[in-house]
């Protein structure tokens, strides 16, 4: 799944309150795994890249992925707390 589509999906799930909590939790975990894989790939790509312009672009993408992962983790923690 491409980064913009993955970010759009995660943002929709974070803002949507209509979903069932279990389904939402399952989806968020899946998105978290995908974002983690994307983050690892971007880090590897950053290490191998020599062009400074591409490095800056990759760093920006990596920052966006990290921020989105942080939002997903916080949302999962909220769901866990509300379930207890």
For each of the domains in the chain, give its residue range(s) and CATH number, in order of start: 21-83 (1.20.58)
Confidence of residue 58 (pLDDT cuts 50, 70, 90): very high
pLDDT tens digits, residue range 7-48? 888 777 776 655 567 778 888 999 999 999 999 999 999 999
Please give the mean pLDDT across all residues of the chain: 86
CB 72 within 8 A of CB 27: no
Mean of the pLDDT values across residues 58-77?
Answer: 94
């Amino acid at each position: 799944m491409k980064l913009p589509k993955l970010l759009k999906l995660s943002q929709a799930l974070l803002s949507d309150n209509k979903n069932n909590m279990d389904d939402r939790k399952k989806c968020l975990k899946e998105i978290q795994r995908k974002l983690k894989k994307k983050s690892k790939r971007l880090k590897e790509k950053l290490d191998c890249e020599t062009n400074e312009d591409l490095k800056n672009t990759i760093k920006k993408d990596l920052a966006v992925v990290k921020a989105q992962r942080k939002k997903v983790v916080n949302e999962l923690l909220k769901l866990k707390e509300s379930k207890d």
